Chain A
Amino acid sequence: MKNERANRRMMTRLSIFAIAMFGFGFALVPFYEKICQVTGINDLIKPAAAVVNTQVDKSRWITLEFDANTRGMDWDFNPVQRSVRVHPGEMIQIEYDVRNNSEKAMVGQAIVSYGPRYAASHVKKLECFCFKMQPMQAGEAKRMPVQFVVDATLPAEVNTITLSYTFFEVEGASTAPLKSGGKS
């Protein structure tokens, strides 16, 4: 029957189509990856977007004052800036200049105190020279950073905070210079 021939041809065509669609299922795998790549939808190793601090209280200003003292040491110790005006929640970095004027290597440890005292719990330090003992060779000079945030929960009546650092000598500690990794 001539119908039979036509039927077989149709069956062949449809079977090829079905097999092609089976292949298409697998072709979706690279296709999907390509789409994700081109559009950057699923790029898990792309660096995270820059961190933005969303908790800055722009409605408020506070003044930070920096004070520096040494106790029985022949060191120069001064803040680079005496004071800054900032918003609570802002990230702040300030620096201190330190110089060992004596003729011997010494190790110092800085201790901080706050005015008013209860401001201490609102100053969140991320990095500070006071975290470690600081060895200084004879005549050595350095600039040392402090990085911190004053959190936005600071009581409203506080509009000035003083950070006062005092260096004490640590006798008998190793005067070997700190490694760049910062291990003491």
Chain B
Amino acid sequence: MYAAHTNDHGHDEHSHKPSGIMRWVQSTNHKDIGTMYLWFSFAMFLVGGAMAMIIRAELFQPGLQIVKPEFFNSMTTYHGLIMVFGAIMPAFVGFANWLIPMQIGAPDMAFPRMNNLSFWLLPPAALLLIAAQFAPGGGAGVGWTLYAPLSTQAGPAMDLTIFAIHILGMSSIMGSINIITTILNMRAPGMTLMKMPLFCWTWLITAYLLVAVMPVLAGAVTMTLTDRHFGTHFFNAAGGGDPVLYQHIFWFFGHPEVYVIAIPAFGVVSQVIPAFSRKPLFGYASMVYATASIAILSFMVWAHHMYTAGMPVEAQLYFMYATVLIAVPTGVKVFNWVATMWKGSLTFETPMLFALGFLFLFTLGGFTGLVLSIVPVDIQLHDTYYVVAHFHYVMVAGALFSAFAGIYFWLPKWTGRMYNETLGKWHFWLSLVFFNVTFFVQHFLGLAGMPRRIPDYSLQFAEFNMISSIGAFGFGLSQLLFLYIVIKTITSGEKAADRQWEGADSLEWTHLPSPAPWHSFETPPVVK
């Protein structure tokens, strides 16, 4: 199917590109689709971010000032859903589309048309989530975890949300099938699995996780749907069902899902840190095994989200020990990143800064995770702001910072132009400071007992909440700087070199010009 393109890669990339909007609507090109994923994800990042600003504005002071409690609940719900399914996950799928074919020396993804479909399912799903706000009774204020029995009793917005999740799930599953097939079947000759850049490895593992758990989530929300409309009683105690069952099914998906978010982030950081240390990644094989064991273990710890839901003490102990065990492979990874930098010739361009920010803050989030995995501690801290602080350290300072690192790192390759280093550093430092202002104090709020998902709070929490809100506004504004930097790079950045970072050694840097041509590796490169 690639035989029609006889041009050798790189020199006349304009000749086959359809023009206008149809180029994007009908695109089967992995780079175009990757670009669309990334822009979509940024748009969702702004929508979800706006919701976060509403949440923090309401929490700026105690009392109810700005929004009604129902609307506040809807904001926490859709902020979570949109950030997880609309912003972070599509961002990393965008990276996968752009990078995997180039890094393994393949001409494109295995199923280009399915790739197009996976992307174009996303906008309707996003529209459903936004439309849910205008359903009778407003958005469903059930939390992003959609717990029964609240979800079986919520208004029509819940149905829109369930459909959105079905569509997002289908998109993820198709995207994952594409990624697995591409990596397993389409590597250039000589590119053995253990020679692949770690980013490809992390995505291979993530894609397997997604194919395994997205259908389980789809099943859970389908049960919610039939409980709502078709008289089943999966979660309805009055009919012999059990709401706690929902929690088990959800977290069977939910804990692996947090690693779906984290593992590609590990992959990006594992490309960036060696490049700016000018050393190969320390312990490549142990990185692969650690990632795989994290993925496998992630299926065995789900009930650490449910210590307070009612569980025999033996089960609590098992889930506690299993959860603590995950810290071991995670520790291996952190050790390897640090060891990669050891005696390297380090430089601190923006991608490296974000990668280091990731390294410090993700590790901190891992520590608070360990604290939460201890049953007696968690019984105290469950559903407080301590949990909110924990997962924002791993998801914002973890996954999001890693995505920023990746974007600054590959932008020269994608656009052929360099971003403005000074502005990039500003973006990093503003994000770092405001992130910590926002979320560090939330640890204290949680320890003092402030519950999450409540629009009002008692007076002793006022100072820390005000600090947190100020940090959040600052963080939100800093991201507009990021948008400006990216647009400025695309329109008028300086010309980038083919191998912009001399420490980067994967195929897209060593074998392809900048910007990467529309078609690449139609004849596979030879990998020694």
Contacts and interface: CB of A to CB of B under 8 A. Distances in A.
Interface of A: 1, 3-4, 6-7, 10-11, 14-15, 17-19, 21-26, 28-29, 32, 39, 41-42
B248 interface: yes
A21 B185 contact: no
Contacts of B1: 1, 4
B312 A21 contact: no
Interface string B79-111: 000000000000000000000000000000011
A111 B219 CA distance: 68
Given A14-B181, A22-B219, A7 B212 contact: no
B514 to A, nearest CB: 28
B242 interface: yes
A24 B216 contact: yes
A28 B215 contact: no
B117 interface: no
A95 B308 CA distance: 48
Contacts of B385: none
A101 B84 CA distance: 88
A49 to B, nearest CB: 15
Contacts of A26: 219, 223
A22 B213 CA distance: 8
Given A18-B211, A24-B215, A11 B173 contact: no
Nearest to B170: A18
Contacts of A14: 176-177, 180-181, 211
A25 B215 contact: yes
Contacts of A11: 110-111, 177, 181
Interface in B235-282: 242, 244-245, 248-249, 252
Nearest to B172: A18
Interface string B179-196: 011001110000000000
B242 A7 contact: no
B482 interface: no
Nearest to B235: A29
Given A18-B211, A25-B218, A25-B220, A10 B312 contact: no
Nearest to A10: B181
Interface in B118-135: none
A3 B212 CA distance: 25
B181 A19 contact: no
Nearest to A25: B219
Contacts of B245: 28-29, 32
Contacts of B215: 18-19, 21-22, 24-25
B457 interface: no
8 contacts: A3-B185, A3-B186, A7-B111, A10-B110, A14-B181, A15-B177, A26-B223, A41-B311
A53 B153 CA distance: 41
B39 interface: no
> Which 5 pairs between the two chains have the least Cβ-Cβ distance?
A25-B219, A22-B215, A21-B215, A25-B216, A14-B177
A23 B223 CA distance: 12
A18 B1 CA distance: 27
Contact size class for B? 20 to 34
Nearest to A39: B312
Nearest to B178: A11
A19 B174 CA distance: 12
A21 B216 contact: yes
Contacts of B249: 25, 28
Given A11-B111, A18-B211, A21-B213, A42 B218 contact: no
A23 B213 CA distance: 11
A7 B252 contact: no
B71 interface: no
Contacts of A39: 312
B24 interface: no
A6 B312 contact: no
A29 B234 contact: yes
Indicate the member of B184, B219, B244 with the most A CB atoms within 10 Å: B219
A93 B407 CA distance: 81
Contacts of A28: 216, 219, 245, 248-249, 252
B212 A10 contact: no
Nearest to B177: A14
A20 B49 CA distance: 36
B181 A22 contact: no
B184 A10 contact: yes
A10 B248 contact: no
Contacts of A23: 219
A42 B310 CA distance: 9
Interface in B200-243: 211-220, 223, 234, 242
Contacts of A24: 215-216, 219
A84 B61 CA distance: 66
A4 B223 CA distance: 37
A24 B212 CA distance: 10
Contacts of B110: 7, 10-11
A3 B214 CA distance: 27
Given A1-B1, A32-B245, A10 B219 contact: no
A113 B214 CA distance: 74
A32 B248 CA distance: 9
A25 B237 CA distance: 19
Contacts of A17: 211-212
